[in-house]
Structure 1
Amino acid sequence: MPKLPLICLTLLTLGVSVTAHSEEKRYVTDELNTWVRSGPGDNYRLVGTVNAGEEVTLLQSNPDTKYAQVRDANGRTSWIPSSQLTNQPSFKVRVPELENQVKTLSDKLNNIDTTWNQRTADMQKKVAASDSIINSLKAENQQLKNQLIVAQKKVSAANVQLDDKQRAIIMQWFMYGGGVAGIGLLLGLLLPHMIPSRKRNNRWMN
C-alpha cells in the first residue's frame, strides 16, 4: 500500500505535458539571481540558483507550468521559470563585447587620425616645396628680365655709338671729297697760269 501514492505521483508527473527542444542557448535575465527547481513547477524543491545574465542551454520546456529545463555552465540540469530566460545576451556578455567594439572603433579612428595627419604633413611639405620652387623660378625670371633690360640698354648705346661713328665717317668723306675737289679746282685755276709763263720764259730765252 505505501507504494501506491508513489506510483500515482509518478503517473501524474508523466502526465504533465512537456515540450522537448533541441539544445539552444538562452540567457538568464539581468535581474537578481534566480532560484532553480528540481522539476517543472513551483511545487518542486529548490536546488540552487543561477547567476543573473548567465548563459545556459535550453533542453526542454513545459508550456503548462511555464518552466524550462536548462543546463548551466557547470553541467547541472534544473528547471527555471521561462520568463527568466531571454534570447538576447545579457549585459554581462554584451558590455565586454560593446567595450571591445568601442576599443576597435577607437583604434580605427586613431589610425585614421594618424594617417590623415601624416597625409596632411606630406601635403604641407609638398606645398612648401612647390612654393620654394615657384619663388625660385620667379626670382630667376626677374633676374633674366633685368639682364634683358641691361642688354637692351647696351644695344641701344651701341647703336648710338654706331650712328655717331657713321656720321663721323660720312663727315670725313665729305671733308676728303671737298678737299680733293678744292685742290682740283685750285690746280685747274693755277695750271693755266703756270703753263704760259713757262712758254714766255722759253721765248725770251730764244
Structure 2
Amino acid sequence: MLDLFPEAEKPIEIVPARKLAAKVAALYLAPSDHFETRPVDALRLGFDGISGDFHAGATRRSGGREPWYPRGTEIRNERQLSIAAADELAVVAERMGLVAIKPEWIGANLLIEGVPHLSMLPAGTLLFFKDGVTIKVDAQNGPCRIAGRSIAEHAGMADVEAGALLFPKAAKRLRGIVAWVEKAGMIKAGEEISVRVPEQWIYQS
C-alpha cells in the first residue's frame, strides 16, 4: 500500500505556542465617515466590531487587498480593529524623516505595549483582555498610500504625494495588525492583555 505520509527527510519544524503579557497603551475610535481615529478612554466591542467605528460591520466591501474579487464585493469583515505599537511607529517615523507618527493618523484603534515585533504576530493569535474581551488576529495590516497621505498632511511634509508613496516602503511589516472580535465586551485604556501565540510552522508542499 502506498504510504501517503512517508517520513520526511527534512520534517517540518513546529514552533511551540507561547503566552505573552501586554497592556493597552491607548484606545482610538474613528468617526463613521472617516478612517482617522481620535483618542478615547474605552471601546465597546460587539461581534460587528467597535460600535460606531468607521470599520464596524460583520461584512465589508472588497478593495485592492482582494484582487481575486471584483472591487466592492461584499465579504466577511476580518478587519474590524487596527492594532499598532509605538516602537514600530517610531521606526517608521525615523525612516520617513519625521519626529513622530501618531496612531490616529493611520486609523489605529488600539496601541499595545509589551509585545516585541507586534506586526509579526501570526494569524490566529488570541488577545485576552483582563475584563473579558477576546479578539483574534487575522493578518498584518499592509501599509497603503491613503494612510501615507494622512501622515504627510498631519506632519506637514513639503511634498504630500512623496510622503504618501514613501509610507508603504517605510512601514512594510511595521504597520501593525488587523483583528476581529471573538468575544464581545468593553476594553479600557491601561487594561492588561494575555497574548496567546499559536503553534507556528512553514508550510512546504
- The verdict on a shared fold, with TM-score over 0.5 as the criterion, is no
* Band the TM-score falls in, shorter-chain normalisation: under 0.3
The answer to which structure has the higher strand fraction is 2
Q: Please give the TM-score of this superposition, normalised by the length of structure 2.
A: 0.20
The answer to which structure has the higher helix fraction is 1
Structure of higher CA gyration radius? 1
Q: Please give the TM-score of this superposition, normalised by the length of structure 1.
A: 0.20
> 1 or 2 for the larger relative contact order (CA 8 Å, sep ≥6)?
2
